[in-house]
Chain A
Amino acid sequence: MLKEYEVIDVKKIKNDFPILNRKINGKQIVYLDNAATTQKPLQVIKAIENYYMNFNANVHRGVYTLAEEATMEYEESRKRVAKFINARSYEEIIFVRNSTEALNLIAYAWGRKNINENDRILITQMEHHSNIVPWQILVKEKKAKLDYIGLTEDGLLNQEDFYKIDKPLKVFSFTHVSNTLGTINPVSKLVKMAHETGALAIIDGAQSVPHMPINVKEIDCDFMVFSGHKMLGPMGIGVLYAKKEILEEMDPFLTGGEMIKEVDFYESTWNELPWKYEAGTPNVEGGIGLGEAIKYLENIGMDRIREHEKKLVKEALEILSEIKGLQIYGPREPEIKGGVIAFNVEGVHAHDVASILDQEAVEIRAGHHCAKLVMKKYNVPAMARASFYLYNDSEEIQRLKEAILLVKKIFNV
């Protein structure tokens, strides 16, 4: 039964995640590193087990029963992903390893064909390194130019920067939700700004697709990338969404088996979409696991998951703000903040904070979060970060608070 203030039944959900029963140092685990990876429900674990127990075979080739079943399940998952983000068709869904690979694919396959000397690529200071480094390399190779949109003190994109940058742009690539600050960017608006200058809009959805309803048709982005393991799925499976006409124009990324139509001695032609971009035996268990994860999320409802996280982050911000000497980074309004809170305890390094929290079985991340440009903005070497998901609750926020108070006690700050 849902309690009055609950939007989802967390108690029931927790039962689906065996790992959340684990004890660390004799204490019940509080898992708050969901921006790094999420835990997996039994449904996902069993779907993968079922695949290996009952219909493991290589996909797309065999004409025997196992191969046909494996192919069907794998391709069903692709259709489920397409529907989940409201793509026009399964042809727009490329399975990759993760968001990082998807961004590299874009920079390599689209970038090398379309970026020329002096072309401008725009990214932001709140990007994960995976949306920075591939562009740096491309720009060096092509003698093109890389520009940044900076951050305000509150951790928002400084949109004025957009208008100061020389135009036209070829690419504007930005994150939907910051993995460090939690900032939710106004993606529809940013896509429009990109298109008005003739640029393609690329969205890093690694921190948004798992946490809120996403409609790529409405957002109108040209590419969106996300990772399966951050949304209850297994590691090693991720998604590149792209508009069909762009995928048709682009050259392949990796080549070899599976991605060809015809192979002759000196020439080959490419397979149809989406397989043109999936060379070699794919991660079938990953695809099936991701499909099951999406089923699980859909059963609960993405709008409810977003509401739940909004409540958690509001409550956490209120409770943590009462702790003296705690610096919280990023926006304070739950409306524009995902379930991510980065903080520092004054006088204590983030790694020391995380180590003490771990002794209390409160599992958070500390470090630069693959966002060194965000660290530079706030002039700190590291931040501690608590990030929430559908199985977290108010009780766990209390545990987080108590553990932070213990840090202050041990360090006498």
Chain B
Amino acid sequence: MSDIYYEIILDHYRYPRNKGQIENADIKVRDSNPLCGDEIEYTIKLDANKNTIIDIKFEGKGCAISQASASILSEIVKGKTIDEIKQMNKDNLLKELGNPKLGPTRIKCALLPLKTLKLGIYSFIGQHFTEES
């Protein structure tokens, strides 16, 4: 029915996973897309070695693409190490979204959660984050 709004996106938009906020989180990070006003906030709990994500929640508002993407990403990264997340790229995430046919403007909605998450991870380990990271 649609080249963009695959069932997986609509499902996560309607029933977001890991929605909420973790108290006493190790990482709290927030970013937005000034173009459409999409907002994502992740709160993350790490294991005792401060190396693996044991819990993650998100808050946000915005379009279905950005919010579904935030939900899907939260499922993927639970249990992953910081190094594994640093290795993640946009294609990994887009594949999980079903490779929707998004133009250059809308693709920013889909990638905002990954950008936000990486921003949080990089600043936690004291490294500088760039869009290419």
Please count the residue pairs between chain A and chain B whose beta carbons lie under 8 angstroms apart in the complex.
46
A280 within 8 A of B: no
- Whether A352 contacts B2 by the Cβ 8 Å rule is no
Count, chain B residues at interface, CB 8 A: 17
B interface residues, Cβ below 8 angstroms from A: 1-5, 10, 14, 35-37, 61-65, 106, 109
- Whether A367 contacts B35 by the Cβ 8 Å rule is yes
- Whether A411 contacts B64 by the Cβ 8 Å rule is yes
Residues of B within 8 A of A351 (CB): 36, 62-63, 65, 106, 109
Tell me which of B35, B37, B65, B106 has the highest count of chain A C-beta atoms within 10 A of its own C-beta.
B37
Minimum CB–CB distance from B77 to chain A (whole Å) comes to 24
Residues of A within 8 A of B14 (CB): 412
Minimum CB–CB distance from A188 to chain B (whole Å) comes to 36
| B109 to A, closest residue via Cβ | A351
A348 within 8 A of B: yes
Residues of A within 8 A of B65 (CB): 351-352, 355
- Whether A410 contacts B10 by the Cβ 8 Å rule is yes
Residues of B within 8 A of A366 (CB): 36
Taking a contact as CB atoms closer than 8 A, the residue among A359, A382, A410 that contacts B37 in the complex is: A382
New contact pairs (14) apart from A351-B106, A359-B4, CB-CB < 8 Å: A348-B64, A349-B64, A352-B64, A355-B5, A355-B65, A366-B36, A367-B35, A381-B36, A381-B61, A382-B37, A410-B1, A411-B64, A412-B10, A412-B14
| A381 to B, closest residue via Cβ | B37
A276 within 8 A of B: no
Minimum CB–CB distance from A14 to chain B (whole Å) comes to 26
- Whether B61 contacts A356 by the Cβ 8 Å rule is no
Minimum CB–CB distance from B108 to chain A (whole Å) comes to 10
A368 within 8 A of B: yes
Residues of A within 8 A of B4 (CB): 355-356, 359
Count, chain A residues at interface, CB 8 A: 17
| B67 to A, closest residue via Cβ | A349
- Assess A367 versus B36: contact at CB under 8 Å? Given A352-B65, A359-B4: yes
Tell me which of B10, B35, B36, B62 has the highest count of chain A C-beta atoms within 10 A of its own C-beta.
B36
Q: How far is the CA of A349 from the CA of B68 in the complex (A)?
A: 12
- Whether B106 contacts A355 by the Cβ 8 Å rule is yes
23 A–B contacts, CB within 8 A, in A order:
A349-B36, A349-B63, A349-B64, A351-B36, A351-B63, A351-B106, A351-B109, A352-B63, A352-B64, A355-B5, A355-B65, A356-B4, A359-B2, A367-B35, A367-B36, A381-B36, A381-B61, A381-B62, A382-B36, A382-B37, A411-B5, A411-B10, A411-B64
Residues of A within 8 A of B5 (CB): 352, 355-356, 410-411
